[in-house]
């Protein structure tokens, strides 16, 4: 299996106006992401509203994304859950469906890091696909210091990737990269706000839900081609829009769905309740920024 690298967007889960899973829009979304140059897809994440899906819906979304991608790019499936037994089941289902890797966060509010380590160990040893360790303290309530992450990555063979969401990501990338002994892929997140700097620090790419993935792809491609000045200029040109989306936090799914719906990638911007609505002032500001950066 090829190593994961580049831009692997955290994908949306599209719904119809009445809140049902819209499988047809999964197909158009996949084409939108891949058409933007995405190097893979990360499904069933926070931006994908995975926690709002029924088990049957989750399975349908998983298999539809893998089917629509049709081997053109690796699919990473989110499997985070409050209990290890649940995460194990999600992981096995993801592997059976054809996912190239699984992404796992610590169980919510588990402060005992020995239990967190055992959680990752049990899941990683239960499947043959690699595990992406998701460091997401804001949503999980679990802080995993850099030395602990290094221990996870060095001591658990299946934990081969790290996705960082803790602010700031930059010192943590450096700390992990300098200390880890095993070959490890490191990905940033946080809406893409620090993508250029994360790449400078040694990140292998990014997993995030920004509404214009082609901007992240363009920055990454220029950077890895050795065109650092061009990558920086291109990234900074679009940073006001990236910044605007990022300040909306987890609620950013609603505005991102507005962007994808406006571009015709999904049929409806519906986000499942509770999700903050997007008011007319916000939409006007969004339109102004999109125009200002030339998208």
**Average pLDDT in the 267-276 region?**
92
The pair of three-digit structure tokens given for residue 202, joined into one six-digit string: 């040694």
* 77, 80, 85, 89 alpha-carbon torsion, rounded to 10°: -20
Distance CA 218, CA 33 (A): 13
**Average pLDDT in the 176-192 region?**
95
**Average pLDDT in the 120-146 region?**
96
Residue 133 sits at φ, ψ, to 5 deg, of -75, 120
Domains of the chain: 6-292 (3.20.20.70)
CA 110 to each of CA 52, 63, 113, 142, 232: distance values in angstroms, whole numbers, following the listed order: 21, 30, 7, 6, 39
Tens of pLDDT, residue by residue over 28-87, are 999 999 999 999 999 999 999 999 999 999 999 999 999 999 999 999 999 999 999 999
- The pLDDT score that the predictor gives to residue 130 is 97
- The pLDDT score that the predictor gives to residue 1 is 46
**Average pLDDT in the 280-293 region?**
92
**Average pLDDT in the 172-189 region?**
96
CA 100 to each of CA 10, 18, 97, 106, 164: distance values in angstroms, whole numbers, following the listed order: 15, 32, 9, 20, 19
Q: Is 86 annotated as a binding residue?
A: no
Global pTM value: 0.96
Distance CA 133, CA 153 (A): 8
Q: How confident is the model at residue 245 (pLDDT cuts 50, 70, 90)?
A: confident
**Average pLDDT in the 204-224 region?**
96
User: Angle at Cα 17 formed by Cα 30 and Cα 68, nearest 5°?
Assistant: 15
pLDDT score of 247 more than 90: no
Q: Is 291 exposed, middle or buried (0-12, 13-18, 19+ CB in 10 A)?
A: exposed
Which DSSP letter does residue 18 get? T
Long-range contact pairs involving 16-19 (C-beta distance under 8 Å, separation at least 24): 16/267, 16/268, 16/270, 17/268, 17/270, 18/270, 19/270, 19/272
- Higher per-residue pLDDT: 250 or 105: 105
- The pLDDT score that the predictor gives to residue 277 is 83
Distance CA 219, CA 191 (A): 14
CA 58 to each of CA 33, 77, 122, 225, 295: distance values in angstroms, whole numbers, following the listed order: 20, 11, 22, 38, 33
Q: How confident is the model at residue 288 (pLDDT cuts 50, 70, 90)?
A: very high
Do the beta carbons of residue 246 and residue 201 sit within 8 Å? no
Tens of pLDDT, residue by residue over 230-242, are 999 999 999 999 9
């Amino acid at each position: 299996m090829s190593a994961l690298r580049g831009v692997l967007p955290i994908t949306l889960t599209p719904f119809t106006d009445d809140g049902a899973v819209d499988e047809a829009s999964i197909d158009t979304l996949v084409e939108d992401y891949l058409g933007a140059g995405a190097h893979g897809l990360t499904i069933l994440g926070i931006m994908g509203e995975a926690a709002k899906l029924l088990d049957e819906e989750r399975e349908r979304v998983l298999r539809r994304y893998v089917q629509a991608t049709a081997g053109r790019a690796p699919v990473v499936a989110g499997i985070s859950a409050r209990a290890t037994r649940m995460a194990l089941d999600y992981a096995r289902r993801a592997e059976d469906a054809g996912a190239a890797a699984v992404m796992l966060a610590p169980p919510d509010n588990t402060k005992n890091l020995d239990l967190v380590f055992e959680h990752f160990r049990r899941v990683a040893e239960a499947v043959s696909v690699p595990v992406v360790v998701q460091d997401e303290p804001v949503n999980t309530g679990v802080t995993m210091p850099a030395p602990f992450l290094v221990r996870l990555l060095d001591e658990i063979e299946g934990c081969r990737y790290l996705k960082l969401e803790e602010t700031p990501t930059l010192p943590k990338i450096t700390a992990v990269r300098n200390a880890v002994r095993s070959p490890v892929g490191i990905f940033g997140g946080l809406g893409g706000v620090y993508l250029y700097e994360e790449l400078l620090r040694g990140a292998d790419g990014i997993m995030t839900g920004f509404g214009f993935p082609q901007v992240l792809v363009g920055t990454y491609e220029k950077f890895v081609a050795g065109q650092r000045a061009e990558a920086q200029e291109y990234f900074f040109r679009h940073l006001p829009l990236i910044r605007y989306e990022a300040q909306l936090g987890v609620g950013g799914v609603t505005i991102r769905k507005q962007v994808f719906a406006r571009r015709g990638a999904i049929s409806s911007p519906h986000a499942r309740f509770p999700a903050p609505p997007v008011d007319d002032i916000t939409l006007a500001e969004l339109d102004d920024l999109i125009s200002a950066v030339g998208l």
